[in-house]
Amino acid sequence: MNRRRLEEKIMLGVISLLAIISAIPIFAIIINIYSEGLKYVSLSFLIDFPPPPISGGAGGIGPALVGSLILIGLATVIGGAIGFFTGLYLSEYSHTKLAQYTQMFLQIMVEFPTIIIGLFAYSVLVAPLKRFNAFAGAFALSIVIIPYIALNVREAYKSIPYTLKEAAFSLGLSYPKVYLRVLLSTAKRGVLTALLIGMAKAGGETAPLLLTILGTTFTYFEGLDQPINAIPLLIYNFALSPYERWHQVAWGASAVLLTIILTIFIISRLVVKEVKI
């Protein structure tokens, strides 16, 4: 008896320790990024153009920040619309062959290397239009996030008790009313979380942007058919340079990006707190 207790205790201890260890990197990253980057962040840092490497002012990440917000917004709208209805279909018509195959493909897509999606966007939206453009970037990002949104929306709808659906249909409501009014009001937290996860994913991706948006220095937004910048792309370019000032901008930009992503996650946590039926 005693020995069993001891074994249990040891086991629990080891597992808890491992759990703590696996959570350490996230804290290490947050502390590292903020301690290195926060000191460069100011209002003008959020607005100004990126600086030249040596002379001139301190500069900022204005075009990249604006670009990132536009790309996140657009990708969430496109990816959200498609992902939501796909998820709805997967949940409500899960018995159909189409739904089963779609779900399988979406699960593969989650694991897809995002650089390949960027290459795809390049070949269908950059090369034929003869210009790097913001829409190609948003398109690539929306493809990246569709499977995340669809699969999470599916979970949200799946979790609704069947009785509620039955009740709604028994009132003689039409399908759109049942799915988009009655059930959505129940599943909305789950759906919102799905969209927020998609947003965070879109905000942090670099690879799909490397081949699509080119990047800008002195322009915030000149149309969806023109190049645009994004924070991950700016970090990638500046962190690799030999100049101290560009490294500082990259650190500051990392702190801003991390703040955006953490904010989205905190909102999604608050949303999820409790699902009331």
Partner 1 sequence: MMMGKKLVLVVGLILAVAVVSLSLLLGGGITTDTVTTQTVIQTVTQKQVAGTINGAGASFLNPQMQAWASKFYELTKGRVKVNYQSIGSGAGQANFKEGLIDFAGSDPPLKKEIYDEFQGKSGIIQFPVIIGTIVVVYNIPNIETQKLRLTGEVIAKIYLGEIVYWDDPLIKELNPDLNLPHEKIIAVHRSDGSGTTRVFTAYLSKIYKPWKEKVGSDFTVQWPVDQLGNGVGAKGNEGVAAAVQQNLYSIGYVETAYAYGSGLKIALIRNRNGQYVIPTEETVKSSLIELTKILPKAHEDWSKIFPDETVDPPGLKSYPIVSFSFIILRQDYDDEIKVALLREFFTWVLTEGQKKENIVPGYYPLPPEVAQIGLEGLKLLR
What is the contact surface with partner 1 in residues (CB under 8 A)? Answer: 49-56, 74, 77-78, 81-82, 84-85, 88-89, 92-93, 126-127, 130-132, 134-135, 174-176, 179-180, 214-219, 221-227, 237, 240-244
Rounded least distance, CB 180 to partner 1, Å = 8
Which of 88, 256 has the CB closer to partner 1? 88
Which of 85, 265 has the CB closer to partner 1? 85
Cβ-in-10-Å burial (0-12, 13-18, 19+) of 275 comes to middle
Which of 86, 193 has the CB closer to partner 1? 86
Query: Mutual orientation of helices 97-110 and 134-158 as an angle, nearest 10°?
Result: 120
Which of 70, 258 has the CB closer to partner 1? 70
Rounded least distance, CB 42 to partner 1, Å = 19
Q: Half-sphere exposure of residue 238, counting CA atoms within 13 Å on the CB side? A: 29
Q: Enter the tokens of residue 85.
A: 């209805």
DSSP 3-state assignment of 201?
helix
Q: Enter the tokens of residue 194.
A: 């799905």
Rounded least distance, CB 34 to partner 1, Å = 24
Phi, psi for residue 228 in degrees, rounded to 5: -145, 165
Rounded least distance, CB 96 to partner 1, Å = 9
Rounded least distance, CB 64 to partner 1, Å = 12
The C-alpha atoms of residue 73 and residue 87 are separated, in whole angstroms, by 20
Give the chain's radius of gyration (CA, Å). 23
Which of 26, 54 has the CB closer to partner 1? 54
Rounded least distance, CB 181 to partner 1, Å = 12
Q: What is the end-to-end Cα distance of the chain in Å, rounded?
A: 44
The C-alpha atoms of residue 139 and residue 152 are separated, in whole angstroms, by 20
* Cβ proximity of 41 and 255 under 8 Å: yes
Which of 32, 219 has the CB closer to partner 1? 219
The C-alpha atoms of residue 29 and residue 2 are separated, in whole angstroms, by 42
